[in-house]
């Protein structure tokens, strides 16, 4: 990493210059590592009991890592009642209204009512399989935050967009639609999930992920505030496994993970421990 601007003493006795990448690395020490498990449309009471037991038996790094699991909506209350209190529970989606004639939808108020604290919004599967627009996602985020839920707001580019050099254009546009609907960033985690890496086994390399996370942090600094940029967790999702989590977790702007497939397996505990391992 190139260093510019401010001089500092290094542990090896050399004097180096710091650039904004080092600034964000230092700020990283103030951001609690965050690992979410997105179960997607998987599980039944038997397999969920198995997940609850490996989460209960595993060492989840205590205060070091904030852990959240997102079961399908129908199991939210079941999981909340059986899971240890230190693991938070998220819904995978919610609607932008509190109640009413919206057949098949769940509201943020209902999610809170059954004891859950978080909701995932803007996941690429909602965007690309169910046609959710930036505008709808923004409205859902605004409503969920107002209702008192915390939000894991997802963004990420398609493979074709990356190949056409449009990654930043896409994720900045998605970020703008989110930022316009957030007043308190303490309740928001941004999940950068490149669509080409989701469920494909093709994880972004640590450098690829770090590059986008750093660009997102710069975007937050310029478009929201330097304070929000320094404090907001930006987590990575896309084929995270116990094998690749540690190296990704070493990147200065990667503050955790949103895990799909591997969150259904005992390996999830190793991913939670990735920062400390």
**Residue 5 CA: distances (Å) to CA of 15, 22, 128, 209:** 12, 11, 42, 24
The residue count for the chain:
277
User: Quick one: CA dihedral 247, 250, 252, 258, positive or negative?
Assistant: positive
Binding-residue pattern over the window 128 to 167 for ligand 13P, x denoting contact by CB under 6 A: ----------------------------------------
- Contact between 259 and ligand 13P per CB under 6 A: yes
Cα radius of gyration (the chain): 18
Shortest CA distance to 126 belongs to which of 174, 57, 75, 69? 174
Closest to ligand 13P by CB, 42 vs 221, is 42
- Contact between 253 and ligand 13P per CB under 6 A: no
Q: Per the residue annotation, which of 22, 123, 213, 214 is the catalytic one?
A: 123
Task: Identify whether 125 is a catalytic site residue.
Answer: no
Binding-residue pattern over the window 29 to 68 for ligand 13P, x denoting contact by CB under 6 A: ---------x------------------------------
Question: Which letter, b or e, does each residue of 159-174 get, where b requires 16 or more Cβ atoms within 10 Å of its Cβ?
Answer: eebbeeeebbebbbeb
Task: Identify whether 193 is a catalytic site residue.
Answer: yes
Residue of 51, 76, 79, 240 interacting with ligand 13P (CB under 6 A): 240
The set of catalytic residues is 123, 193
Binding site for ligand 13P (CB under 6 A): 38, 123, 193, 198-199, 237-240, 258-262
């Amino acid at each position: 990493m190139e260093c510019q601007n401010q001089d500092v003493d290094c542990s090896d006795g050399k004097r180096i210059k710091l650039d904004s990448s080092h600034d964000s690395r230092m700020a990283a020490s103030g951001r609690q590592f965050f690992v979410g498990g997105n179960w997607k449309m998987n599980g039944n009471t038997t397999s969920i009991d198995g997940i609850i037991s490996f989460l209960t038996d595993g060492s989840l790094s205590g205060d070091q890592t904030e852990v959240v699991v997102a079961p399908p909506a129908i199991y939210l209350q079941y999981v909340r009642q059986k899971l240890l209190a230190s693991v938070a529970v998220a819904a995978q989606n919610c609607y932008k209204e509190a109640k009413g004639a919206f057949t098949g939808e769940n509201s943020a108020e209902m999610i809170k009512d059954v004891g859950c604290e978080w909701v995932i919004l803007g996941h690429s599967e909602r965007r690309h399989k169910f046609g959710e627009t930036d505008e709808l996602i923004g409205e859902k985020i605004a409503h969920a935050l107002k209702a008192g839920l915390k939000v894991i707001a997802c963004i990420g580019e398609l493979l074709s967009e990356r190949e056409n050099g449009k990654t930043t254009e896409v994720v900045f546009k998605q970020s703008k639609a989110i930022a316009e609907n957030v007043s308190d960033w303490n309740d928001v985690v941004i999940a950068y999930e490149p669509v080409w890496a989701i469920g494909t086994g093709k994880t972004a390399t640590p450098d690829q992920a770090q590059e986008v996370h750093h660009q997102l942090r710069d975007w937050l600094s310029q478009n929201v505030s330097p304070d929000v940029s320094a404090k907001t967790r930006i987590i990575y999702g896309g084929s995270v496994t116990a094998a690749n989590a540690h190296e990704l977790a070493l990147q200065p702007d990667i503050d955790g993970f949103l895990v799909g497939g591997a969150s259904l397996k005992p390996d999830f505990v190793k991913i939670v421990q990735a920062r400390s391992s």
